Amino acid sequence: MALIVQKYGGTSVGSTDRIKNVARRVAKHKAQGHDLVVVLSAMSGETNRLIGLAKEIQANPDPRELDVIVSTGEQVTIGLLVMALKELGIEAVSYTGGQVKILTDSSHTKARIQHIDDANMRADLNAGKVVVVAGFQGVDANGNITTLGRGGSDTSGVALAAALKADECQIYTDVDGVYTTDPRVVPEAKKLKTITFEEMLEMASLGSKILQIRSVEFAGKYNVKLRVLSSFQEEGEGTLITFEEDSTVEKPVISGIAFNRDEARVNVIGVPDKPGIAYQILGPIADANIDVDMIIQNVGQDGTTDFSFTVPKGELARTVKVLEGVQAQIGGKSVSGDDKICKVSIVGVGMRSHVGVASTMFRTLAEEGINIQMISTSEIKISVVLDEKYLELAVRVLHKAFGLDRVA
Amino acid sequence: MALIVQKYGGTSVGSTDRIKNVARRVAKHKAQGHDLVVVLSAMSGETNRLIGLAKEIQANPDPRELDVIVSTGEQVTIGLLVMALKELGIEAVSYTGGQVKILTDSSHTKARIQHIDDANMRADLNAGKVVVVAGFQGVDANGNITTLGRGGSDTSGVALAAALKADECQIYTDVDGVYTTDPRVVPEAKKLKTITFEEMLEMASLGSKILQIRSVEFAGKYNVKLRVLSSFQEEGEGTLITFEEDSTVEKPVISGIAFNRDEARVNVIGVPDKPGIAYQILGPIADANIDVDMIIQNVGQDGTTDFSFTVPKGELARTVKVLEGVQAQIGGKSVSGDDKICKVSIVGVGMRSHVGVASTMFRTLAEEGINIQMISTSEIKISVVLDEKYLELAVRVLHKAFGLDRVA
Q: How far is B55 from chain A (nearest CA, A)?
A: 9
Per residue in A38-80, pLDDT tens? 999 999 999 999 999 999 999 999 999 999 999 999 999 999 9
Q: How far is A371 from chain B (nearest CA, A)?
A: 50
Helix, coil or strand: residue A107: coil
Q: How far is A384 from chain B (nearest CA, A)?
A: 44
**Where exactly are the structural domains of chain B?**
3-174
- What distance lies between CA A262 and its chain's CA centroid? 15
pTM beyond 0.90: the answer is: no
Cβ contact (<8 Å) for A79 and B87?
no
Query: Which ipTM value was assigned to this complex?
Result: 0.77
Which parts of A302-370 fold into alpha helices (H)?
A: 316-330, 357-367
Mean pLDDT of the B201-227 span: 80
Instruction: Check: CB of residue A226 under 8 Å from CB of residue A5.
Output: no
Nearest CA in chain B to A84: B57
Percent of chain A having pLDDT more than 90? Answer: 58
Cβ contact (<8 Å) for B19 and A57?
yes
Nearest CA in chain B to A91: B62
| Best-predicted range by mean pLDDT (A141-155, B66-80, B224-238) | B66-80
Q: What is the pLDDT of residue B245?
A: 57
- Return the C-alpha torsion angle B377, B381, B387, B391, nearest 10: 170
Which are the contacts of A344, defined by CB distance < 8 A and separation ≥ 6? Answer: A257, A258, A259, A383, A384, A386, A391, A394, A395, A398
Q: For residue A83, which residues of chain B lie inside 8 Å, CB to CB?
A: 54, 57-58, 61-62, 65-66
Q: What is the pLDDT of residue A206?
A: 64
DSSP string, B331-342: T-SEEEEE-SEE
Of A65, A86, A99, the CB nearest to B82: A65
Tell whether the model's pLDDT for residue B83 goes beyond 80.
Answer: yes
The reply to whether CATH 3.40.50.1980 applies to domain B3-174 is no
Q: For residue B57, which residues of chain A lie inside 8 Å, CB to CB?
A: 16, 19-20, 80, 83-84, 87
Mean pLDDT of the B63-89 span: 98
Per residue in A163-209, pLDDT tens? 999 999 999 988 888 888 888 889 998 888 888 888 888 887 665 66
Q: What is the pLDDT of residue A329?
A: 84
Q: For residue B82, which residues of chain A lie inside 8 Å, CB to CB?
A: 62, 65, 68
Tell whether the model's pLDDT for residue B311 goes beyond 90.
Answer: yes
Average pLDDT, chain A: 90
Q: What is the pLDDT of residue B141?
A: 96
Per residue in B90-113, pLDDT tens? 999 999 999 999 999 999 999 999
Q: What is the pLDDT of residue B263?
A: 92
A69 lies within 8 A of chain B by CB: yes
How buried is residue A126: exposed, middle or buried, by Cβ count under 10 Å (0-12/13-18/19+)? exposed
Mean pLDDT of the A360-387 span: 90
What's the pLDDT band for A288 if we cut at 50, 70, 90?
Answer: confident
Walk across the sheet containing B304-312 and list its strands. B295-297, B304-312, B263-272, B334-338
Instruction: Check: CB of residue B306 under 8 Å from CB of residue B269.
Output: yes
A262 lies within 8 A of chain B by CB: no
DSSP β-bridge partners for residue A226 = A169, A241
Max Cα separation, chain A? 78
More confident residue, B184 or B93: B93
Per residue in A307-321, pLDDT tens? 889 999 999 999 999
Mean pLDDT of the A275-304 span: 82
What's the pLDDT band for B210 if we cut at 50, 70, 90?
Answer: confident
